[in-house]
Amino acid sequence: PPGRKVLIVYAHQEPKSLNGSLKRVAVEELSKQGCSVTVSDLYAMHFEPRATRNDIVGCLHNSEEFNYGVETWEAYKRGGLSNDLIEEQKKVQEADLLIFQFPLYWFSMPAIMKGWMDRVLVQGFAHEFPNCYDSGLLKDKLALFSFTTGGSREMYAKGGISGDIRYVLWPMQHGIMHFCGVKVLAPHICFAPEYVSEEKRKEMLIAWAHRLKTLWKEEPINCSPEWYFK
């Protein structure tokens, strides 16, 4: 609906890739609906994936022994995080929906996107025990993981060689997003695009555009272990 804000966190090196096209389709389709869409193109931004001392501006809370979690939490409270993190947090703060667009690497997200999670979702900003899971600090937001795989749908079936694709989603959807209070929409998975025809890849893009048309009517998945492991 008009006025909704969307952040697409995108991790692919090649704009001409299927991931690049999926990102472009999302920007076009959501903009058409009157949403305002922001893209964090991590490779183009040369986003720093490493969680280091450089993420804290000025003095450390404890200069004797460096604890990244404590230091970024303290820095967040006093407005002392590095600019790149403040920028990303602002985008997250404003977004109603976060779309993560990436190719699956080793049953997980690419390092540059994992680094985004590690550095941006700071304690005090995204979670603050006991405010996690259903009471996480980002609880009015939605997230959607849209990704491509190398393996086929059969390989990622329950009885398949790679196990149910949902097992892979547990750390990303549950351990990160739900932990921060974010409600998760069903993932959008393009299986093995490298091994199908150009025609099939076009169909994948059309299916994504089609889903985006009614995305705001969707109910989030059941955020419990059952969804992943039943």
Query: How far are the Cα atoms of 74, 76, 118 from residue 123, in angstroms, in the given order?
Result: 9, 8, 10
**Is the per-residue pLDDT at 179 higher than 80?**
yes
Neighbours of 221 (CB within 10 A): 18
pLDDT for position 88: 98
Query: What ranges do the domains of the chain cover?
Result: 5-229
**Domain 5-229, CATH homologous superfamily name and number:** Flavodoxin domain (3.40.50.360)
Give the tens place of pLDDT for each residue, 139-175: 999 999 999 999 999 999 999 999 999 999 999 999 9
**Is the per-residue pLDDT at 1 higher than 80?**
no
Compute the residue count for the chain: 230
Cis peptide before 130 (omega within 30 of 0): yes
Give the tens place of pLDDT for each residue, 78-123: 999 999 999 999 999 999 999 999 999 999 999 999 999 999 999 9
pTM: 0.97
Average pLDDT, the chain: 97
